[in-house]
Chains A and B, each alone.
Chain A
C-alpha cells in the first residue's frame, strides 16, 4: 500500500543549529512530493515541492529538500533554524493520476533559544 513515513515524531534543536526532517515513501514509481508546515492553530502552508528535474529543491523560509530515488526519501533541511520555525511539519505525496495527497504523521519541531 502507498504510505508516507516520518520517523521522528518530535525534534528539538537550538536556535541557529541545522535541521533535517526525514520523510520516506512507499510506492512503485516516483510520486509528487511536498512539505507543508503547520503553525499552532493555523492551516497548512506549502514549503516546497518536487515534481521532476533537479533533485534538490528550494522552498520558502530558507528550507530545502532533496529527493533520493534510491532511498525513497525526501528529507527537509535548513542550515540555521530560527525560533519562528517551531511548528508541525508534514511530508505529503501525490501519486500519478490521482488528486489525493497522502500525509505523513508529522514531525513536531521545538526550537530552544
Chain B
C-alpha cells in the first residue's frame, strides 16, 4: 500500500545512454513533482505536473523530459546522460492550492539513485 513508489531504486548506466524513471502515486493527488538531490544532499525541484499538465519547469536541460500519462503517474526520461546527472531523483505528490491543511503538503517516494559512469 505504498503511497508514492518509484522504479527502479538504483540505476547505473554509461554516459550517452537514455534512461527512464517511473513514479506512481495511489493517494489520489492532482499534482506530482520531480526533485533532484545532489551529492551534497541539496534538494531542488525540477518539474511539477497538475492533472497531466506541466506547471513548473525549473531551468532543467531539455535532455530531461517528464511525461504524465495520467494523474497517478509521472515518468522522467533522460536523454544523453552526463556524469553530472548522477544524483538521487525523488518523485512527490500533493493536493496543492486547496483549502485546508493538506495544501502544499508533499509526499515523497523512496528515491532513485542514478549513477552515470
Counting chain A residues whose Cβ lies within 8 A of the other chain, the interface size class is 20 to 34
Please measure, in the bound complex, the distance between the C-alpha atom of A100 and the C-alpha atom of B101, giving whole angstroms.
16
Docked-complex contact A101 and B90, CB < 8 angstroms: no
A46 an interface residue at 8 Å Cβ cutoff? yes
Please measure, in the bound complex, the distance between the C-alpha atom of A62 and the C-alpha atom of B108, giving whole angstroms.
21
Binds A, one of B13-21, B38-46, B64-72, B73-81: B38-46
B106 an interface residue at 8 Å Cβ cutoff? yes
| Complex interface: chain B residues within 8 A of A46 (CB) | 105-107
Counting chain B residues whose Cβ lies within 8 A of the other chain, the interface size class is 20 to 34
Cβ-closest chain A residue relative to B109: A43
Known: A97-B97, A101-B104, A106-B41; 11 extra A-B contacts, CB below 8 A, are: A32-B104, A34-B105, A42-B110, A43-B108, A44-B92, A90-B43, A99-B31, A99-B33, A99-B48, A99-B97, A101-B33
Query: Which positions in A face B, CB cutoff 8 Å?
Result: 32, 34, 36, 38, 42-46, 49, 51, 88, 90, 94, 97, 99-103, 105-106, 108
